[in-house]
């Protein structure tokens, strides 16, 4: 059985009197341990699809199942708890809290868990170790390079050991070298830690790192590719 | 506790803005506590006054005097157990700025009718025995460094008492046994002032001791009837009413000072509310990110509300400490018109509660908005 199943998912917005359809009857199945790249031009609905998977937006129609949970039917409170447990989100602009150190940023999702201070510290140091930033725990985001900031953001995404890692253009704001390092890190998380990853990207080179690629256009699935 | 770092770091993200907010709350609480202290001071005399003492003054005004024969007439009224009198002397010590309240009293009966004026037996005896002796309150003594045996000279402030300076020897330093007596005054022998007065035998007010409070309306009525249609008509009230009328000479202080305090608090509420709203607006993305990480709306609400509360309470604490340091009888003598003005524990508690109220109200709207933030819209707005 697939880890994630989207069935006939549509999403539309109302602007003035007009209905704008962003996703139109999308049906996808993503297996556990997949590394899926979502590609498509601007406005194709790929970020909306990612937001729906993350449970930060709700479909207008259709259902989304992750594991045993149909998240489209969850209340706001239950959805927040579900996100905390199952989702690790990586943003294009890193979105670290500027007044917190790298350690504190990574610790943030753990504050929602019943872990003790020592357990939280162990988890954070493990996550920072995986992204290669153990020695930067006391640095503030402004003291880090873009690539390092994104690594901290990845550490924050994986620190709770979530079911699903979602990345929205994770290399979009990075130079080529840093982007390559981040993609290597994501591949490593997928390969070594069996993390299921869904990544939105414009970049075909980034998409090549994924095991599967889905193409969206005008809210519909147009093409599927599987990399060796 | 695990969110404390987050709250503190969020509050300190703009140190200048946080400092200004804290200062504004501190000033509001300082003003509130200080004004309350002044009001308390004004009202203390009335609150602590005896219900078995009634005061007779001229019906026209406290500033007009009456002849000594009034005292004898009042003494003969059934129900009057004892009696004393006093005059507002209005003498000037050094200059107007350093002056304090000073009264000419009939010493023996005054100390009898006002047992709240606490003197040692030796001081009492020394005062009664010396016609130019005086007693000063311990608050006044503290302020001016007076000691028993010191010489004090008062210039004449009211021409009725002649033109020559009055020399006194301090024979005792009294403590106030209740709020009915202030400890910022000086009292001396009425005879000493009377013998130099242009018009002899004049009394400012007469205080009669009665057996029970229930008799007050009847005795007061009888006294005033005795002097009706005379050149010196009187008005007799309870000591509490007398103290209140003394305060009312300054106008409706409760309304005036109360209005100022409320205006300051409301203005501060807007300042603090605006600060929190700005702070939350700046953090829209961060809040959206935290929501994405799984922080429930309630937790976000709590974090913002606690942040506002924390800033406000720190401001409140600074305000009450400031009020206690500044509103101090050593620094601001009340001139003897009212008992010592001081910010008491109740004022401190009310000041802190007020700052908490400001914090809660100021944080309410920003916290609610933050907790209801639509994640996707907030992320899209900035990205």
Q: How is B128-167 classified by DSSP, letter by letter?
A: HH-TTEEEEEHHHHHHHT--TT-EEEEB--SGGG-SS-EE
Instruction: From chain B, pick out residues whose CB is under 8 angstroms from the CB of A111.
Output: 2-3, 6
Say whether pLDDT at B177 is over 90: no
State the Cα–Cα distance between residues A174 and A203, nearest whole angstrom: 12
A119 three-state secondary structure: helix
Instruction: From chain A, pick out residues whose CB is under 8 angstroms from the CB of B12.
Output: 99
State the Cα–Cα distance between residues B149 and A51, nearest whole angstrom: 88
Q: Do A76 and B297 lie within an 8 Å CB cutoff?
A: yes
Name the residue of chain A whose CA is nearest to B10's CA. Answer: A99
When pLDDT is averaged across residues A44-73 and rounded to a whole number, the result is 93
Q: Which of A112-116, B68-72, B325-329 has the lowest mean pLDDT?
A: B325-329
Q: Are B209 and B81 in contact (CB under 8 A)?
A: yes
State the Cα–Cα distance between residues A95 and A88, nearest whole angstrom: 13
Confidence band, pLDDT 50/70/90 cuts, at residue B331: very low
Contact status of A111 with chain B (Cβ, < 8 Å): yes
Contact status of A78 with chain B (Cβ, < 8 Å): no
**pLDDT tens-digit map of A156-198:** 999 999 999 999 999 988 999 999 999 999 999 999 999 999 9
Confidence band, pLDDT 50/70/90 cuts, at residue B383: very low
Say whether pLDDT at B8 is over 80: yes
The full set of domain ranges for chain A reads 31-62+75-226
Name the residue of chain A whose CA is nearest to B8's CA. Answer: A99
Name the residue of chain A whose CA is nearest to B13's CA. Answer: A99
The full set of domain ranges for chain B reads 4-45+252-382, 60-232
Confidence band, pLDDT 50/70/90 cuts, at residue B95: confident
ipTM computed for the complex? 0.93
Chain-centre distance for alpha carbon A183: 13
Question: B347 or B171, which is more confident?
Answer: B171
The secondary structure of residue B326, as a DSSP letter, is H
Q: What DSSP string describes B257-314?
A: HHHHHHHHHHHHHHHHHHHHHHHHHHTHHHHHHHHHHT--HHHHHHHHHHHHHHHHHH
Q: Which of A224-228, B17-21, B230-234 has the lowest mean pLDDT?
A: A224-228
Structurally, at CATH architecture level, domain A31-62+75-226 sits in 3-Layer(aba) Sandwich (3.40)
Q: Do B376 and A51 lie within an 8 Å CB cutoff?
A: yes
Among A14, A56, A154, the strongest candidate for a mutation testing the B interface, having the largest count of B CBs within 10 A, is: A56
């Amino acid at each position: 059985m697939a880890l994630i199943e989207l069935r006939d998912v549509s999403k539309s917005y109302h602007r003035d009197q007009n209905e704008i359809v962003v996703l139109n009857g999308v049906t996808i199945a993503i297996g556990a341990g997949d590394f899926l790249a979502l590609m498509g031009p601007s406005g194709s609905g790929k970020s909306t699809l990612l937001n729906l998977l993350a449970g930060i937006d709700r479909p207008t129609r259709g259902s989304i199942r992750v594991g045993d949970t149909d998240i489209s039917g969850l209340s706001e409170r239950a959805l927040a708890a579900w996100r905390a447990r199952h989702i690790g989100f990586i943003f294009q602009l890193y979105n670290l809290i500027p007044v917190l150190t790298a350690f504190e940023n990574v610790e943030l999702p753990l504050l929602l868990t019943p872990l003790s201070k020592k357990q939280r510290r162990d988890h954070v140091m493990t996550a920072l170790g995986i992204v290669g930033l153990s020695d930067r725990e006391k640095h503030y985001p402004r003291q880090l390079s873009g690539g390092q900031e994104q690594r901290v953001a990845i550490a924050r995404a994986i620190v709770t050991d979530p079911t699903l890692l979602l990345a929205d253009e994770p290399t979009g704001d990075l130079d080529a070298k840093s982007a390559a390092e981040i993609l290597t890190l994501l591949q490593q998380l997928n390969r070594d830690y069996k993390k299921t990853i869904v990544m939105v990207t414009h970049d075909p080179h980034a998409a090549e790192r994924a095991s599967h690629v889905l193409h969206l256009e005008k809210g519909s699935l147009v093409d599927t590719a599987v990399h060796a | 506790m695990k969110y404390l770092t987050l709250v503190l770091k969020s509050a300190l993200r703009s140190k200048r803005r946080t400092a200004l907010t804290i200062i504004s709350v501190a000033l509001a609480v300082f003003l509130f506590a200080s004004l309350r202290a002044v009001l308390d001071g004004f009202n203390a005399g009335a609150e602590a006054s005896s219900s078995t003492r009634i005061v007779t003054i001229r019906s026209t005004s406290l500033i007009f005097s009456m002849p000594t024969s009034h005292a004898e007439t009042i003494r003969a009224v059934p129900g009057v157990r004892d009696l004393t009198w006093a005059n507002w002397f209005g003498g000037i010590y050094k200059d107007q700025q350093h002056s304090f309240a000073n009264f000419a009293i009939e010493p023996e009966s005054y100390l009898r009718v006002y047992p709240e004026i606490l003197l040692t037996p030796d001081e009492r005896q020394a005062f009664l025995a010396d016609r130019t002796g005086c007693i000063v309150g311990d608050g006044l003594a503290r302020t001016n460094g007076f000691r028993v045996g010191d010489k004090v000279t008062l210039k004449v402030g009211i021409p009725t008492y002649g033109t020559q300076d009055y020399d006194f020897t301090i024979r005792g330093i009294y403590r106030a046994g209740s709020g009915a007596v202030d400890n910022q005054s000086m009292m001396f022998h009425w005879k000493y002032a009377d013998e130099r007065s242009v018009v002899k035998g004049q009394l400012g007010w007469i205080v009669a001791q009665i057996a029970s409070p229930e008799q007050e309306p009847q005795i007061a009525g009888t006294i005033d009837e005795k002097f009706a249609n005379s050149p010196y008509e009187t008005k007799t009230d309870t000591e509490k009413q007398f103290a209140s009328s003394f305060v009312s000479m300054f106008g409706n202080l409760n309304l005036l000072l109360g209005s100022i305090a409320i205006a300051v608090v409301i203005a501060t509420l807007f300042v603090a509310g605006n600060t929190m709203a700005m702070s939350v607006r700046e953090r829209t993305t961060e809040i959206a990110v935290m929501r994405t990480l799984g922080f429930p709306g309630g937790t976000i609400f709590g974090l913002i509300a606690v942040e506002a509360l924390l800033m406000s309470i720190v401001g409140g604490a600074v305000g009450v400490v400031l009020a206690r340091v500044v509103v101090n009888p050593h620094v601001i003598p009340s001139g003897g018109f009212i008992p010592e003005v001081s910010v008491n524990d109740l004022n401190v508690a009310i000041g802190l509660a007020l700052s908490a109220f400001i914090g809660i109200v100021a944080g309410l709207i920003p916290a609610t908005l933050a907790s209801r933030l639509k994640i996707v819209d907030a992320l899209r707005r900035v990205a």
